[in-house]
Amino acid sequence: MTGHDYVTEADRELEETYEEPMSLAAYVDRIFDNPTIASHASKYLLEAIEAAGTRTVVEEGEEKERYRFFDDPHNDGEHAILGNTEVLNGFVDDLRSIAAGRGKDEKIIWFEGPTATGKSELKRCLVNGLREYSKTPDGRRYTVEWNVTTAETGDRGLSYGVDPTAGDDQNWYESPVQAHPLSVFPEQVRSQLLADLNAELDDHVPVRIDTELDPFSREAYEFLEERYRREGSDDLFSAIADDEHLRVKNYVVDHGQGVGVLHSEDEGRPKERLVGSWMHGMLQELDSRGRKNPQAFSYDGVLSQGNSVLTIVEDAAQHADLLQKLLNVPDEQSVKLDKGIGMDVDTQLLIISNPDLEAQLNQHADRNGMDPLKALKRRLDKHRFGYLTNLSLETELIRRELANETEIWEAESYDELEARIREPVTTTIKGQDGDTRTREFAPHAIEAAALYAVVTRLDEENLPNGLDLVDKALIYDQGFLQEGDTRREKDEFDFDDDGNDGDHGIPVTYTRDTLAELLQTERDRHHAELGVENVVMPRDVLNSMAEGMANAPVFSTGERSEFENRVVPVKNYVFDQQESDVIEAIMHEKRVDEETVAEYVEHVYAWETDEPLYNDRGEEVEPDPLKMKLFEIEHLGRFSEDEYQGNLPRESVRNFRREKVITSLNRHAWEHRDEDFSASNVDLTAIPVIKSVLESHDWDDVSRTFEDFDPRQWDDPPSGTETAAVKETTIETMVEEFDYSAASAELTSRHVMGQVSYRWD
């Protein structure tokens, strides 16, 4: 594309975003065609969230519907809020009640949580989502603008000192607080208009516009009203609202225009932070007619900027003095510029804080009924963000922080997520010598960091017998736990739903900083000798995270001790994953083909159910006991000749076939009961024991397949030996099939073989 093409594309986008101003009557006609454009603030925010749709996720082992709005879809996921779906869903439910006027009108929504839990992302996600929604036809947002120069008679009080003879477009002044166009109508007429509009709405949330004109617009309205009343106009409202004086224009919701954000560093008196301040120079210039002229007000306070959509108080503990001033804003929908001039406000109030705000609010809690902050606390509707307790989400978050990968992870099955969790990360850094070099986090390295962080966040009280915290983390992420041939769903475990999961633990910022420092750290001499000094291994990550806590002020003494003790099961799990990769690479060419497995399943199914079995020529045949026996001995490796009488299975084999194969087939048949089910069209990986045949092996399989293989020779195998041949193909397979680099494959396989050598028989 040329520079001109880009400019043309920008023109096209703005043309689709902005409209020509319209008359008030034209606007009213439009809202009857598309009522969503007239929504009040809380309803508008609700509609923006719902418009993005939903998707299904698994969090803490349970399926939940998640609003895509919080994935920051309009911004390619850059400020997505990962996890906390249940908290966000609770927020939307409360928002729905507020929008419908069902008893929560006076509430101020409060998001609280420890550092690095996504609260700042929430603010950015809300702003991004509302901005983009306001560019859509259903999300258009409108306000009014005034031109009174044509009605003036030498009085320059409403023209901001602009020459009345100037071009017409220069004399239009937009409502500084995004006043709703329907607020121009007298209250009785507006009530009837809304009743007619809501009668046509197929919605449980009616449109409610209870606000009057803002002071700036009211000044213009009253000026025009007085002018035309003196002239004896018969149609006074029509004269005031004529399109030479009043226009309805759309605007894009953004910071300062529909969204007000009070940052932690913002200063000023409460009134200035809330609504703005008087500009004394303007008061002297404008004709105030014996009182303050609302035109001489800045309207740069958070409520003024957020009027019509959303008001956010960020790091609310820094503005605790302001919260009490906000007490009556939600239910009274009003705030004062000063004692003489008030302003109606329609905004959804939302405050964000760390746990320190709660400490401030509870400083008088021991005074019971005499607590001066009781009224404020009653109005706060608390939603608590916690640390992520899903391995896949934490891995995604670390990759965002470390490699700026903003894509939202969506998968059809957990197998897809599992593959992404283990992926390596490669990045380029600049050394002190000025040279650039590539650094690689080996497969499972980011997974190790994420799993360790999650394990520190899980409550180990009331942990079910036989499980450790790694098991709990896997159940939370997958929704089940695979133990050999047995798959146990989360609801089979008695987890304490009132536990403290996610309340504390390693924050992602600590993990990110530790990993970033590892990128700059030179590998040890042993790595350099191997020519793999640019590889960061999972054990490097875990050791650095555990050792670095001693000097990290973010952790208390108790937390350091607790978290350091939790690293061992994570190391064991990660080693198991590396070991599995190496074994599967060794056995890659020796895997049982799916056709052989399918044939076995079909024969077992026919053997148990008396269902007909057909050969390739379409002839009905009997189940072959020899084929089943050989598969069970050679491929499954579960049975010996002693467990058969000739080719016929003894009781142990018969029970295995019924409990492990047939039961899984019947479960699959039930889950797919609306489909044409048969053993031939079943997903073989739905049967745990069959999945293990297709996808996993053990060292017994390796020993049986490669009789002269010796892991003790792995580091430097003698030329011409079976170990040398196995190593060569294994490294190639790890690179081609398992996402390893040659360097990380070498280091990983050496690490695994070093451990296996001790127990090799």
Stretch 528-543: mean pLDDT, rounded? 78
Q: Which of 509, 568, 542 is nearest to 441 (CA)?
A: 542
Stretch 726-749: mean pLDDT, rounded? 94
Domain locations along the chain = 36-150+170-383, 391-588
Q: Is the pLDDT assigned to residue 679 strictly greater than 70?
A: no
What percentage of the chain exceeds 90 in pLDDT?
49
Q: What is the pLDDT of residues 485-519, one digit of tens each?
A: 677 888 888 776 666 888 899 999 999 999 999 88
Contact 453, 511 (CB under 8 A): yes
User: What is the DSSP track for 306-324?
Assistant: HTTSEEEESSGGGGHHHHG
Q: Is the pLDDT assigned to residue 372 strictly greater than 80?
A: no
Q: What is the pLDDT of residues 432-490, one digit of tens each?
A: 666 677 888 999 999 999 999 999 999 888 788 888 999 999 999 998 888 766 778 88
> What pLDDT is stored for residue 285 in this prediction?
65
pLDDT confidence band for 39 (50 / 70 / 90): very high
Fold of 36-150+170-383: Rossmann fold (3.40.50)
3-state secondary structure of 237: helix
Question: How many Cα atoms are found within 13 Å in the side-chain-facing hemisphere of 702?
Answer: 26
Dihedral sign for Cα 698, 699, 703, 709, please.
positive
Q: Is the pLDDT assigned to residue 320 strictly greater than 90?
A: no
Least confident of 70-84, 151-165, 511-525: 151-165
> What pLDDT is stored for residue 165 in this prediction?
47
Q: What is the pLDDT of residues 579-599, one digit of tens each?
A: 999 999 998 887 777 788 888
Q: What is the pLDDT of residues 187-221, one digit of tens each?
A: 999 999 999 999 888 778 899 998 999 999 999 99
> What pLDDT is stored for residue 470 in this prediction?
94
How confident is the prediction for the chain on average, in pLDDT?
Answer: 85
pLDDT confidence band for 525 (50 / 70 / 90): very low
Q: What is the pLDDT of residues 541-550, one digit of tens each?
A: 999 999 999 9
- Quote the pTM value: 0.83
Length of the chain: 761
Q: What is the pLDDT of residues 594-607, one digit of tens each?
A: 788 888 888 988 89
What percentage of the chain exceeds 70 in pLDDT?
86
Q: Residue 53 pairs with which residues in a beta bridge?
A: none
Q: Is the pLDDT assigned to residue 746 strictly greater than 60?
A: yes
Contact 208, 101 (CB under 8 A): yes
CA distance 422 to 353: 34
Q: What is the pLDDT of residues 373-399, one digit of tens each?
A: 777 878 888 999 999 999 999 999 999
Q: What is the pLDDT of residues 685-723, one digit of tens each?
A: 566 666 665 567 788 888 888 889 999 999 999 999 999
Distance of CA 574 to the CA centre of its chain: 26
Q: What is the pLDDT of residues 403-439, one digit of tens each?
A: 888 899 998 888 889 999 999 998 877 666 666 778 8
3-state SS of 464-522? CCCCCHHHHHHHHHHCEEEECCEEEEHHHCCCCCCCCCCCCCCCHHHHHHHHHHHHHCC
> What pLDDT is stored for residue 14 in this prediction?
54
Contacts of 673 (CB under 8 A, 6+ apart): none
